[in-house]
Homo-oligomer: A and B are copies of this chain.
Amino acid sequence: MKPYVEMTIEELSSELEALRIEYRKYQGLNLNLNMSRGKPCREQLDLSMGLMDALNSEADLTCEDGTDCRNYGVLDGIQECKELIGDMMENRPDNIIIYGNSSLNVMFDTVSRAMTNGILGHTPWCRLDKVKFLCPSPGYDRHFAITEYFGIEMIPVPMSPSGPDMDMVEELVSSDESIKGMWCVPKYSNPQGYSYSDETVRRLARLNPAAPDFRIFWDNAYGIHHLYDMDRDTVMEILAACKRAGHPDMVYKFASTSKITFPGSGISALAASPNNLEDIRKQLTVQTIGHDKVNQLRHVRFFGDIHGMVKHMQKHADILRPKFEAVEEILEKNLAGLEIGTWTKPRGGYFISFETLPGCAKAVVAAAKKAGVIMTGAGATWPYGKDPQDTNIRIAPSYPPLEDLKTAAALFALCVKLVSAKKILDEKTAAAKACGKEG
A residues lining the B interface (CB < 8 Å): 37, 39-40, 42, 45, 48-53, 55-57, 59, 61, 68-73, 100-102, 104-105, 108-109, 112, 115-117, 124, 126-127, 142, 145-146, 148-150, 258, 262-265, 283, 285-295
Query: Do A264 and B283 touch (CB < 8 A)?
Result: no
9 contacts between A and B (CB under 8 A): A45-B68, A51-B57, A52-B57, A52-B59, A69-B262, A71-B263, A73-B264, A264-B289, A265-B295
Contact flag A288-B72 (CB < 8 Å), given A52-B56, A115-B126, A116-B126: no
Query: Do B53 and A57 touch (CB < 8 A)?
Result: yes
> Which residues of B are found within 8 Å of A55, using beta-carbon distances?
52
> Which residues of B are found within 8 Å of A40, using beta-carbon distances?
71
Query: Do B108 and A116 touch (CB < 8 A)?
Result: no
Query: Do B49 and A57 touch (CB < 8 A)?
Result: yes
- Which of these, B52, B56, B108, contacts A287 with CB under 8 Å? B108
Q: How far is the CA of A101 from the CA of B268 in the complex (A)?
A: 14
Q: How far is the CA of A262 from the CA of B290 in the complex (A)?
A: 12
> Which residues of B are found within 8 Å of A59, using beta-carbon distances?
52
Query: Do A264 and B72 touch (CB < 8 A)?
Result: yes
> Which residues of B are found within 8 Å of A265, using beta-carbon distances?
69-70, 292-295
Query: Do B101 and A291 touch (CB < 8 A)?
Result: yes
Query: Do A145 and B286 touch (CB < 8 A)?
Result: yes
Q: How far is the CA of A117 from the CA of B70 in the complex (A)?
A: 35
> Which residues of B are found within 8 Å of A116, using beta-carbon distances?
112, 115-116, 126, 150
Query: Do A264 and B291 touch (CB < 8 A)?
Result: yes
Select from chain B the residue with minimum beta-carbon distance to A42.
B68
Query: Do A37 and B292 touch (CB < 8 A)?
Result: no
Q: How far is the CA of A115 from the CA of B49 in the complex (A)?
A: 41
Query: Do B264 and A71 touch (CB < 8 A)?
Result: yes
Residue among A59, A148, A293, A294 having the largest count of chain B Cβ atoms under 10 Å: A294
Q: How far is the CA of A49 from the CA of B119 in the complex (A)?
A: 41
Q: How far is the CA of A380 from the CA of B401 in the complex (A)?
A: 57
> Which residues of B are found within 8 Å of A124, using beta-carbon distances?
126
Given A117-B149, A265-B294, 14 further pairs, Cβ under 8 A: A52-B55, A53-B56, A70-B265, A72-B263, A101-B291, A108-B286, A109-B287, A115-B116, A116-B116, A145-B285, A149-B286, A262-B294, A263-B289, A264-B293
Closest 9 CB pairs of A and B: A265-B294, A49-B57, A126-B126, A70-B262, A45-B70, A72-B263, A105-B288, A108-B287, A149-B286
Q: How far is the CA of A72 from the CA of B52 in the complex (A)?
A: 17
A199 to chain B, nearest CB (A): 33
A55 to chain B, nearest CB (A): 5
Select from chain B the residue with minimum beta-carbon distance to A147.
B286
- Which of these, B48, B71, B104, B117, contacts A39 with CB under 8 Å? B71
Query: Do A264 and B126 touch (CB < 8 A)?
Result: no
Query: Do A45 and B57 touch (CB < 8 A)?
Result: no
> Which residues of B are found within 8 Å of A150, using beta-carbon distances?
116-117
Residue among A40, A55, A150, A286 having the largest count of chain B Cβ atoms under 10 Å: A286
A219 to chain B, nearest CB (A): 14
Query: Do B56 and A289 touch (CB < 8 A)?
Result: no
> Which residues of B are found within 8 Å of A48, using beta-carbon distances?
70
> Which residues of B are found within 8 Å of A263, using beta-carbon distances?
70-72, 289
- Which of these, B71, B289, B294, contacts A102 with CB under 8 Å? B289
> Which residues of B are found within 8 Å of A285, using beta-carbon distances?
145
> Which residues of B are found within 8 Å of A142, using beta-carbon distances?
286, 289
> Which residues of B are found within 8 Å of A117, using beta-carbon distances?
149-150
